[in-house]
Structure 1
Amino acid sequence: MSRVGFIGAGRMGLPMVRGLAEAGHEVRALGRSSESRAAIYASGAEAFSDLSEVGEGADLVTVCVFSDDQVRHVCLDSPLLAAMPSGAVLAVHTTVSPRTVEAVAERAAAHGIDVVDAAVSGGPPDIAAGCLTLFLGGPEGAVARIRPILQSYGDPILHVGPSGNGQRVKLVNNALFAAQIGLLAEAADLGRQLGIDESVLLEALPHGSSASRVMGSVAARGSVRSFRSAVGEFLDKDVAVVRKTVAELGGDLGILDSVISGGHPVRYPR
């Protein structure tokens, strides 16, 4: 089994820590507060308050913090990389700019460390069930070394190319995800115009040819507004990363931009 360092044992990260520990890996997780450390211990891992201790002797260090700035702080402005052994792998689950991944990979290479951007699609229930989708960008050898570890909570694990490509695939995925929520909001509005209650639509449409994974999740919540409220914090952050990245690369979201918001703002039912 492997020694795994884990940074970001929160809503998404803590179930990952539990899955890694249950699979028999030696897990060292960062815990800044007493509450965080107690939760980490309860998950079967060791808790440390210093990033260097998390990285020491690790085969893999996984970063699952919230924002691009936090990833840069952990990976570029802290002693983490210097503490990790040469030959280790750093995996980034956080949705960030591909340029951030490239900057981290360049810095890590000086320490003999490979970087894999391991973008995720799914939530805590998928992690607990061992079926979180992972889009991996990075060197084939590094991906092969960490795949057995990530299988503690990930399936499928998809290698989509070099470093940064995991994030690129995730950004396209999230643009479509946000657009589908927008389309469902418009569909609910159309239903009301036709005299159909949203709850009736959401009971019926998942059985028709318009069905999708997003629609099933919305239907389970009972309304577009309720689902949007549940995922809003993460969705808004990820959509902002999509817009920034596309702008940096000189690209265009096209019709996706209009559906997400654009000149015709998405209307969420009251």
Structure 2
Amino acid sequence: MTDSKPRIAFIGLGIMGGPMAANLVKAGYAVTGYNRSRAKVDTLVEAGGAGADSIAEAVADADVIITIVPDSPDVEAVADGEDGIFAHAKSGAVWVDCSSIRPDVSVALAKQAAEKGIRAVDAPVSGGEAGAIEATLSIMVGGDADVVESVRPVLEAVGKTVVHVGPSGSGQTVKAANQLIVAGTIELVAEALVFLEAYGVDTAAAIEVLAGGLAGNRILDRKATSMVAREFTPGFRVDLHHKDMGIILAAAREAGVAIPLGAHTAQLMQSLRQLGHGDLDHSALLLLVEQLSGRSPSH
């Protein structure tokens, strides 16, 4: 590690955050991690990072603070709580929020950060657990251009596609659009797979040819095989995608934009969650299609 590399605090070491923090360590950064459950901190320490027992401790000497926690209230608590970033980070630090939250909350927090001398950017990520592990995430970044450029090397250590999409909140707006497309695509892939199985088609062969044509998409590439096998270990939980669909519905309504298919998909995601599948991967939408079709995995 060279002295020129910023010191990083990483808050939230879950399915996405853990691998991202580990990749920053691999890239030569000094990373101090904090997570509510200590086991995830210990995993980072084993990978060569440092651990903290509080947010205050993690951020005290950090040049760059990265957060990735579940929802808007969680980000607000991490940022503005007694033990939070605003109270304990040094002036001039850059706060990069990789969580997926409401755009308006992101804008408000960026203003609060500026009042504390902290430069904030919203940088939600897409690519799921596999993208986090492989450091191939797509990162949509909102904030002042100069601040974004200052942390671009850090973001490029965890992502393959890093794009500045506009001022504060813009990253969250683009992430909402991303989640809209992903949910709708998963639902259509799920419907297609149940349809193919109903006709006894070789699904592996079907997936191969569909992925090579105009119907090709990342869901077919990354999730169709596990969907056919009914393996729904979460890379991204239904609970979280349900939360994200709430964000896009509210934002679309505020902008006066009709999203009829998105709204319907949001209802399907909610139904899947109400059936008790909130902890499964979002590709478990297949289970709902199956149930609505009166079919079971064994047919």
* Same fold (TM > 0.5): yes
Is 1:255 aligned to 2:255, yes or no? no
Name the CA distance, whole Å, in 1 between partners of 2:212 and 2:227: 15
- Is 1:86 paired with 2:60? no
CA contact (8 A) 1:55 1:81 kept: no
1:16, 1:127 within 8 Å by CA — same for their partners in 2?
yes
Which residue of 29, 33, 50 corresponds with 1:29?
33
The answer to whether residue 144 in structure 2 is matched with residue 144 in structure 1 is: no
Q: How far is the alpha carbon of 1:17 from its aligned partner? A: 1.2
Q: Identify the match of residue 14 of structure 1 among 13, 18, 27.
A: 18
Q: Which amino acid aligns with 1:252?
A: A
1:196 aligns with 2:217: no
Q: Quick check: 231-240 or 158-167, which moved more? A: 231-240
**Compared CA separation, residues 11 and 199, structure 1 to 2 (3 A):** same
1:2 matched residue in structure 2:
6
Aligned pair 1:212/2:217, yes or no? yes
Which consecutive unaligned segments of at least 5 residues does structure 1 have? none
Q: In the TM superposition, what are the counterparts of 1:220-259 in structure 2 within 5 Å?
A: 220-223=225-228, 226=231, 231=236, 232-259=238-265
Contact in 1 for aligned 2:122/2:143 (Cα 8 Å): yes
Deviation at 1:224, TM superposition (A): 8.9
**What runs of 5+ residues in structure 2 fail to find an aligned partner?**
272-284, 291-295
Equivalent residue for 2:55, pick from 48, 51, 55: 51
1:268 to 280, 283, 289: 289
Runs of 4+ in 1 over 6 A off after TM superposition: none
Partner of 1:75: 79
SS in 2 for 1:136: strand
Q: Which amino acid aligns with 2:142?
A: G
Q: How does 1:87-102 map to 2 (within 5 A)?
A: 87-102=92-107
SS at match of 1:90: strand
Instruction: State the AA in 2 paired with 1:35.
Output: A
Task: State yes or no: 1:180 paired with 2:185.
Answer: yes
| Partner secondary structure for residue 56 of structure 2 | helix
Distance 1:124 1:230 in 2: 5
Partners of 2:200 and 2:31 lie apart in 1 by: 55
Q: Offset at 1:193?
A: 5.6
Contact 1:68 1:97 in 2 (8 A): yes
Q: Quote how far apart the aligned CAs of 1:250 are.
A: 4.0
SS at match of 1:10: coil
Contact 1:121–1:132 (CA<8 Å) still a contact in 2?
yes
1:238 Cα deviation from its structure 2 partner: 1.9
In structure 2, relative to structure 1, the CA distance for the partners of 1:70 and 1:183 (3 Å cut) is same
Q: Does 1:60 align with 2:64?
A: yes
**In 1, are the aligned partners of 2:129 and 2:235 still within 8 Å (CA)?**
no
- Amino acid of the residue matched to residue 116 of structure 2? H
Query: 18-27 or 193-202, which moves further after superposition?
Result: 193-202
* Shift, 1:220, TM fit: 2.9
CA-based RMSD of the aligned residues comes to 2.4
CA positional deviation for 1:186: 2.7
The code of the aligned residue for 2:44 comes to I
Secondary structure at the residue paired with 1:268?
A: helix
Report the CA distance shift for 1:214/1:33 in structure 2 as closer, same or farther (over 3 A): closer
SS in 2 for 1:54: helix
